[in-house]
Amino acid sequence: MTTIAFIGLGNMGGPMAGNLVKAGHDVTGFDLSPEARTAAAGRGVTIAASVAEAVGGADAVITMLPNGPLVLQVWEELARLTGPGVIVLDSSTIDVDSARKAHAMLDGRLTLDAPVSGGTVGAEAGTLSFMVGATPEAFAAAAPILQPMAGRIIPCGGAGAGQAAKLCNNMLLGISMIGAAEAFAMGARLGLEDQALFDVISTSSGQCWAVNTNCPVPGPVPTSPANRDYRPGFAAALMLKDLRLARAAAEASGASIPLGAHAARLYEAFAGAGHGGEDFSAIIRFLQDPAVRD
């Protein structure tokens, strides 16, 4: 049993902390939101009144927060509150620079950036994919803690490498969803049935997760959000957040991402028109709108 402090008990953090409790760990959590605290208490998490109270005596600390500035704010506190050898890992999706700063702030601790994919379904089921940036020593120490929350744990390199991998993956996902949406929208214009086009693409060289698993039209994949009026799933606002982070990373590193930048602009327009809460595959409806298309 490990004593774990869990900071940020929202849609992802709450169920992740619950899976650590189920695995027999002693988990104390803190969140600014009373609703999140109540829900986590229902999952067996001991609720603390502050970050300091949650972290006192912990062998490991996990943060799962909305953005980079908040992670740095909490990690600044953790720099004062944790001693050498404590495992401190962040699973939020944040920019690579903030992740590297966070590692540097907690020099002497076993630090990891370990963002996830798999969404709230994966968080509940304990099947998240963790992409990890850490030293081999920190990776080995944290792996048993990640296990109850994870389907896969992938070492990506040193400090910031987990966030870098997450941003590259999600930029590709955003681009490929727009491509899938364009293909189905054009297919319909050309008189193709959605099912016929799906049968071709899903077994041919255009196959990808955006088509085979999260198909943007209702029908061919019964579990895709298109079949429930595009309730997420993975909300367009979160895709936009990740594309903006990818754009910032490209600017900082000098990488050329013409399609990633264009995907960010399309999701900015889509979310700006009030669709941020819909699944990101709903971008197909936007592409079908003549006012946008022409």
Residues forming the active site: 166
Instruction: Give min distance, CB of 195 to ligand NAD, in A.
Output: 29
Amino acid at the residue 204? S
DSSP state letter for 183: H
Give which of 105, 99, 64, 49 is closest to 82, Cα–Cα: 105
Q: What one-character-per-residue DSSP string does 53-117 give?
A: HHHTT-SEEEE--SSHHHHHHHHHHHHHH--TT-EEEE-S---HHHHHHHHHHTTTSEEEE--EE
Q: Which is nearer to ligand NAD, 74 or 257 (CB)?
A: 74
Which region among 2-10, 54-62, 147-155, 251-259 touches ligand NAD (by CB under 6 A)?
A: 2-10
Element (H, E) at 32: none
Instruction: Give min distance, CB of 241 to ligand NAD, in A.
Output: 6
Q: Which is nearer to ligand NAD, 10 or 276 (CB)?
A: 10
- Chain positions 5 to 24 lying near ligand NAD, rule: CB under 6 A, are 7-13
- Chain positions 54 to 83 lying near ligand NAD, rule: CB under 6 A, are 64-66, 70, 74
Tally the C-alpha atoms within 13 A of residue 213's C-alpha that lie toward its C-beta.
8
- Residue 36 as a binder of ligand NAD (CB under 6 A): the answer is yes
d(CA 162, CA 66): 17
Instruction: Give min distance, CB of 137 to ligand NAD, in A.
Output: 25
Interacting residue with ligand NAD among 19, 28, 82, 92 (CB under 6 A) = 92
- Residue 95 as a binder of ligand NAD (CB under 6 A): the answer is no
Q: Which is nearer to ligand NAD, 52 or 200 (CB)?
A: 52
- Residue 169 as a binder of ligand NAD (CB under 6 A): the answer is no
Interacting residue with ligand NAD among 18, 19, 20, 30 (CB under 6 A) = 30
Q: What angle do CA 99, 91, 243 make, to 5 degrees?
A: 70
As a whole number of Å, the CA-based R_g of the chain is 20
Applying CB under 6 A, the residues found at the interface with ligand NAD are 7-13, 30-33, 36, 64-66, 70, 74, 92-93, 116-117, 119-120, 234, 238, 241
